[in-house]
Amino acid sequence: MKSNPSRSLIALSTSALALPGIAQADAPPTESTLSYKISNYQEDDLTRAQVPFGGLGRYDIDVHQFQYVSPLGIDFALFIDANHEDMSGASPWFSTANAAGEPVINMSGASGITDARSELSIGTRYYSQNGNFGGAVGYSEENDYRATYVNLSGSRNFNNDLTTVTLGFSHSADDIFPTDAELFNRVRNEDKRATSAAVSLSQVINRVTTFQTALSITEQSGFLSDPYKLQDARPDNKTQIAFSNSLRYFFIEADGALQANYRYYHDDFGISSHTLDLSWFQNINRSFQVAPMLRYYSQSAADFYTNIDDFTKPLTEPQSSDYRLSAFGAFSGGINLIADFGDWTATFTAERYVANEKYSVYAVNQPSPALVQFVRLSLGVDYSF
């Protein structure tokens, strides 16, 4: 029994410092680059107070990422991305009340979960004197989940290349076929669709300052519940809106750059969130750079969130005890170490994430006992030839 952790992992642990999904380089690559990154994501164990019976361990995920980028002639580039995840552990299955009436967790499976996910995407991009246009198609598969997607984006430069407008579009079609469906009376086969559109504006303000703002809208439809939770029923349509801003300023005397990002999100499940992160990129010399970061996140609860499942309600009535739908706040901090040796570049990243209802800027009427703490470590190598 599981609940698609790879998608939440992407949301929780990403360290990308640019605005998501739509920014592209202005010029085609002049040489080929082969990249590999290995990451480990480890959630903290729960306590016996949170889980009265059964195991306390949560997810442990190893991620392998490969990318190949190559010029195709003068004006085109080829992009090939391949990812593989190996996962083990357990997730909250349902919640009940203890003798004091406080919520406690029942975990999925005494022996835990093992699963793997593989993904491949291929894309190309055309570059002109005043912009670029391209897209990609991709496929992802697990033993209970299959996704096919396509994305397109294009950028146009104005104002002597100081201003860039970018438009992006993506669509995914997912099939869900849970394991042990007959044994646990789960759905046998369902589908989900998601369509996103995004627009961004990038502006070079002066020789040391750049600014970028972006707006994205996503429509999801189909089966949006978690089939691996005992009592989980969500509406079959969701609209998501995100507004992002990024400011980067280079301090000449310090030979370093400060980047500040802010993102506001809202969906019609009733969740609103704020994300603020700060990063400092410090050049040590021509070969080494260190980049510490600090991020704060807070969200409100979904309209139908409950921290104690009500099994008297029919599954046609929205209800979920998924901690990801609760009100909480979270801090994460980390550091990136980058070493550039000409044709070779190595990057090491370490990140610590801690969530707690006490950190929330929103009212927390029903705190979740299942909030996540995790550590993520990654090592990447790029080779250009």
Number of domains composing the chain: 1
Using one digit for the tens of pLDDT, what is the confidence trace for 79-100? 999 999 999 988 899 999 999 9
Question: CB 284: neighbour CB atoms within 10 A?
Answer: 13
What gap in Å lies between CA 176 and CA 226, rounded to an integer? 10
Q: Could you identify the residue written with the tokens 């190893």?
A: 62
What is the pLDDT at residue 186? 75
Using one digit for the tens of pLDDT, what is the confidence trace for 3-53? 444 333 333 333 332 343 344 567 788 999 999 999 999 999 999 999 998
What is the residue range of 264's domain? 5-384
Residues 6+ away with beta carbon under 8 Å from 51: 104, 105, 106, 107
**R_g (Cα) of the chain, nearest Å:** 22
What is the pLDDT at residue 213? 97
What is the pLDDT at residue 310? 94
Q: Of 95, 93, 91, 141, which Cα lies nearest the Cα of 112?
A: 91
What gap in Å lies between CA 165 and CA 111, rounded to an integer? 51
What gap in Å lies between CA 226 and CA 179, rounded to an integer? 13
What is the pLDDT at residue 185? 67
Determine contact, residues 192/140, Cβ cutoff 8 Å: no
What gap in Å lies between CA 75 and CA 128, rounded to an integer? 7
What is the pLDDT at residue 85? 96
C-alpha angle 228-234-240 in degrees, rounded to nearest 5: 115
Which residues in the chain show pLDDT less than 50?
1, 3-23
- The reported pTM is 0.89
What gap in Å lies between CA 202 and CA 25, rounded to an integer? 12
Looking at residue 307, which CATH number applies to its domain? 2.40.160.40
Q: Could you identify the residue written with the tokens 């972006």?
A: 214
C-alpha angle 81-87-92 in degrees, rounded to nearest 5: 125
- What b/e string do you get for 217-256 counting C-beta neighbours within 10 Å, with b at 16 or more? ebebebbbbbbbbbbbbbeeebebebebebebebeeeeeb
Determine contact, residues 330/361, Cβ cutoff 8 Å: no
Using one digit for the tens of pLDDT, what is the confidence trace for 282-316? 999 989 999 999 999 999 999 999 999 999 998 88
What is the pLDDT at residue 179? 79
What is the pLDDT at residue 178? 84
Q: Are strands 145-158 and 209-222 parallel, antiparallel or unpaired?
A: unpaired
- Per residue, the 3-state secondary structure of the chain, as one string, reads CCCCHHHHHHHHHCCCCCCCCCCCCCCCCCCCEEEEEEEEEEECCCCCCCCCCCCCCCCEEEEEEEEEEEEECCCEEEEEEEEEEEEEECCEEEEEECCCCCEEEEECCCCCEEEEEEEEEEEEEEEECCEEEEEEEEEEECCCEEEEEEEEEEEEEECCCCEEEEEEEEEEEEEECCCCHHHHCCCCCEEEEEEEEEEEEEEEEECCEEEEEEEEEEEEEECCCCCCCCCCECCCEEEEEEEEEEEEEEECCCCEEEEEEEEEEEECCCCEEEEEEEEEEEECCCCEEEEEEEEEEEECCCCCECCCCCCCCCCCCCEECCHHHCCEEEEEEEEEEEEEECCEEEEEEEEEEEEEHHHCCCCCCCCCCCCCEEEEEEEEEEEEC
Structure tokens at 363: 């009212």
Determine contact, residues 197/22, Cβ cutoff 8 Å: no
What gap in Å lies between CA 295 and CA 278, rounded to an integer? 6
222 — phi, psi (to 5°)?
A: 105, -145
